[in-house]
């Protein structure tokens, strides 16, 4: 019987921790070896030590930033690698990942073996660092991408990849369907509210239309009553209800005065009620 999926995931997480630590250490070792090779090549080219260390100081900062980004991408990609293990059973296996992360140390060991019989510590260190660089470059830059690309053409891997892409597409369509459903529900609810508000707001709209077409001498009283009605509309349904009342009032104003309103008094007088803001706010 297969193990529980959660237990399998926990086991993979436990095995991934040593690989992460090994990869960090091997990356740091590779950078040190690469820095040594660059410094020695600059020295052989005739650069003075103070120039070399000056250039190295700026390079260290750049290298640390690049390594930080690389390790961040590595750790963030672990969950994605777990999702495509079925597509790449070789390059995601523990044995291969161990070989991949230990490549700098294996290259350094090969360099040490090639330095057996040579005189001088400088030649030994040179072979050590050169072996580290060559092995790391071959495994990380050439071998790993080539194997991953080749592995993707296997029939089973292509089948798994198609299944994953189909599953992702189905999930995307399902999310879009849910969003459309929620939007439809919101629109339906809004239409229901507008129908209910239509009945409750009709007397207020007629009263406001009469107040706004009154003589200028009665504007103070009209303004006070307009503010009271606006506050009532806010309590009834918030800003949406106030907008609907304004639209109904303008329509009633047109019927009553047989003309377009020259000034939008409602927008000015309702300023500060709830979230309503006038044109000059």
How do residues 36-65 score in pLDDT, each as one tens digit? 777 776 666 665 544 445 444 445 545 555
What confidence score (pLDDT) does residue 228 get? Answer: 92
C-alpha to C-alpha distance for 211 and 225, rounded to whole angstroms: 8
Question: Which pair of tokens denotes residue 117?
Answer: 């019989």
Q: In percent, how much of the chain has pLDDT > 70?
A: 74
Largest CA distance in the chain: 113
Binned at pLDDT 50, 70 and 90, residue 194 comes out as confident
Is the pTM for the entire model greater than 0.95? no
What confidence score (pLDDT) does residue 1 get? Answer: 37
Give the mean model confidence (pLDDT) for residues 181-192. 87
Local structure of residue 214 (DSSP, 8 states): S
């Amino acid at each position: 019987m297969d193990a529980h999926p959660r237990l399998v995931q926990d086991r993979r997480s436990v095995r991934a921790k040593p690989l992460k630590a090994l990869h960090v250490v091997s990356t740091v070792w590779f950078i040190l070896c690469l820095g040594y090779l660059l410094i020695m090549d600059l020295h052989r080219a005739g650069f003075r030590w103070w120039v070399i260390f000056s250039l190295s100081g700026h390079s260290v900062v750049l290298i640390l930033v690049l390594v930080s980004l690389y390790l961040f991408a590595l750790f963030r990609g672990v969950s994605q690698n777990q999702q495509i293990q079925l597509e790449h059973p070789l390059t995601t296996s523990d044995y291969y990942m161990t070989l991949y992360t230990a490549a700098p140390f294996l290259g350094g060991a090969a360099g040490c073996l090639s330095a057996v019989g040579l005189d001088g510590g400088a030649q030994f260190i040179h072979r050590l660092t050169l072996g580290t660089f060559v092995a790391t470059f071959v495994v990380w830059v050439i071998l790993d991408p080539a194997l991953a690309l080749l592995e993707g053409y296997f029939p089973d891997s292509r089948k798994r990849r198609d299944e994953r892409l189909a599953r992702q597409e189905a999930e995307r369509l399902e999310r879009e369907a849910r969003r459309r459903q929620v939007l439809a529900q919101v629109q339906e609810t809004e239409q229901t509210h507008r129908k209910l508000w239509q009945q409750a707001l009709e007397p207020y709209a007629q009263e406001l239309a009469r107040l706004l077409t009154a003589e200028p001498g009665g504007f103070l009283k009209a303004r006070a009553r307009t503010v009271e009605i606006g506050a009532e509309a806010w309590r009834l349904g918030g800003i949406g209800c106030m907008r609907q009342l304004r639209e109904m009032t303008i329509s009633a104003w047109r019927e009553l005065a047989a003309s377009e309103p020259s000034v939008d008094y409602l927008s000015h007088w309702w300023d500060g009620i709830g979230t309503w803001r006038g044109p000059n706010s």
